[in-house]
A and B are shown apart, each in its own frame.
Chain A
Amino acid sequence: MLALVRPDSWNFPLFLHVLGAGVLVGALGATVIIATRAPALRSLLVRTIGFLVLPAWVLMRFAGQWLDSREDIPGDPSWLGVGFIVGDAGLVLLVVTALIAWRGLRHPERGWHVKAVAAISGLYLIALFVAMWAMTTKPE
């Protein structure tokens, strides 16, 4: 019932955190769709990751940190840990994905780049879904 009694000062960082996460989910979804259904559109793939996926991750992660500093949550609850792990590991995965997509643009004769981008992006989407479940239901 935390949402029912949330202080006003948490609202703006929460809004940015959720907005960033939503844009990240959409941009990653578009990345998976392009990579699996229109793999020839490699420049669109690279631009989607560079101009939307990575900036959306930054918005989600930094707004989340801002929110965490406002909430000052006691202890180290597992749901918050899941959020941090998925968020921080995501940066590594997304940077690797961006580099693979960029290499794929320079070597269009090779197909594995696009398949790898689809696989990593799809896996990270699943991880984000798990994090979203943890952060909304807050299991003990």
Chain B
Amino acid sequence: MDKYDWLLFLHVTGAFLVIGGAVMAGIFNFAALNRERPSEIAVLFRLARVAVVAIGAGMGVTLVFGLWLVHNAGYDWGETWIVLALVLWVLSNAMGGIGGGREKQTRQLAERLAAEGDAPSQELSARLRDPMWLALSWGSGVVVIAILALMVWKPGA
């Protein structure tokens, strides 16, 4: 095994953390959409925090070892797939970051409502179905899949 293999292994490990974390977050968010009781929604959003940690760690690992791989393999830094992947990496982080902030507010609202009687709430329901939040959260996942496609096809290489 040479250096390239190890760098690729660590880069792919990061990618699996990101994709796996996105899938986990999707499962918990989708399950929360089908719940009414704030206590149940709060539990699901607390579980989703594990996914957020996995995504954050994976994003860092993929970037560090991805850049190292580009250097090690001798790719041109201006190649289309590398530039596009970096742009999409930033976009995915930005979308996930904004969506994550709204998710935190929704979790805090669910926890407060759970402590105040745990009755279904129109406000909580509306927040869960907020089109902007849904677009940001699910959109960042789609961008991650687009990055995976770029890594496989490498257009312009």
Question: Cβ of B5 and Cβ of A138 under 8 Å apart?
Answer: yes
Is there an interface contact between A25 and B1, defined as CB atoms closer than 8 Å?
no
In A72-130, the 8 Å CB interface with B consists of: 129
Choice from B12, B23, B50, B153 contacting A136 with Cβ under 8 Å: B12
Q: How far is it, in angstroms, between the C-alpha of A11 and the C-alpha of B46 when the chains are bound?
A: 37
- Nearest-neighbour CB distance to chain A for B100, whole angstroms, equals 17
Are A22 and B8 CB-contacts (below 8 A) given A15-B152, A27-B27? no
CA distance A138 to B4 in the complex (A): 11
Instruction: Provide the bound-state CA to CA distance between A8 and B153, in Å.
Output: 7
Instruction: Type the 1/0 row for A9-22, where 1 means its CB is closer than 8 Å to any CB of B.
Output: 00100110011011
User: What is the number of residues of chain B that contact chain A, defined by CB distance less than 8 Å?
Assistant: 33
Establish whether residues B54 and A29, one from each chain, have CB atoms under 8 Å apart when the complex forms. yes
A-facing residues in B100-157 (Cβ within 8 Å): 145, 148-149, 152-153
* Contact in complex: B23, A52 (CB < 8 Å): yes
Identify whether the interface residues of A are mostly helix, strand, loop, or mixed: helix
Instruction: Give A41 Cβ to nearest chain B Cβ, in Å.
Output: 7
Residues of B within 8 A of A (CB): 1, 4-6, 8-9, 12-13, 15-16, 19-24, 26-28, 31, 43-44, 46-47, 50-51, 54, 73, 145, 148-149, 152-153
Interface residues of A (CB under 8 A from B): 1, 3-4, 8, 11, 14-15, 18-19, 21-23, 25-27, 29-30, 33-34, 37-38, 41, 44, 48, 52, 129, 132-133, 136-139
